[in-house]
Amino acid sequence: MKMKKKSWTLLAVAIFATLLLSGCWLFGITLVLNYDIENEIASTDTHFNSVLVDLTQEQDWKDNQDKLDEIYILYFYGWIQNYESTPATGQLYVYKDTTLQTIAEVESLATLVLDGLVIPADSTVEVPLTAMKLEPIRDLIMKGKFALYAIATDVPFHIRVYDATVVVVFAVETIF
């Protein structure tokens, strides 16, 4: 037993010495990227638009894209306005691009990442910094480009999402 413990200790010291002498250290750094969505998302039960989130154009992403290790969390913040005289329950979906044309396509092909955003009739609400479901879309987010779709579960609906921000917390590997 003493030999095995001594061997592991010697191995650990050898690795530490090698790193120290080479001047190489591997560290992880956590970064927070705020992506302001310039366009608004306007949606009704008959037509809608989406917005493309392109993290690859952000400097922090560009500087660290080749060292990207992990996406920890994805947040949404913004304002949602309900133009209808009935309450709406807003939903955010993520898809790989902006090609979806119908509500049915969004519901079947895109991934629901935020649900239950209640907007009273004829009102505007601020959505506080809210975590989106990350697991089903983690690989898509790692690529740096995705589309956001906003719809509501109630029909008819007419909502507008504006002054929105997506916040991505991610880790990069850094070698010193």
Buried b (16+ CB within 10 A) or exposed e, 152-161: bebeebbbbb
pLDDT of the residue at 4: 47
CA 77 vs. chain centroid, Å, equals 11
**How many angstroms separate the CA atoms of 32 and 18, rounded?**
32
* Cβ-contact 95, 110 below 8 angstroms: yes
Q: What letter would DSSP give residue 101?
A: -
pTM: 0.82
Q: What letter would DSSP give residue 122?
A: T
37-51 pLDDT, tens digit each: 999 999 999 999 999
Task: Set out the domains of the chain in order of their start, with CATH numbers.
Answer: 29-175 (2.60.120)
52-66 pLDDT, tens digit each: 999 999 999 999 888
Exposed, middle or buried by CB within 10 Å (0-12, 13-18, 19+), for 53? Answer: buried
5-33 pLDDT, tens digit each: 455 555 555 555 554 555 544 566 888 99
Phi-psi region of 74 (alpha: psi -120 to 50; beta: other; left: phi over 0): beta
Residue 18, number of CB atoms within 10 A of its CB:
10
Residue 70, number of CB atoms within 10 A of its CB:
13
Query: Once rounded to an integer, what is the mean pLDDT over residues 84-110?
Result: 96
pLDDT of the residue at 23: 52
What backbone torsions phi and psi does residue 136 show, to the nearest 5 degrees? -70, -15
3-state secondary structure of 43: strand
Q: What letter would DSSP give residue 20?
A: H
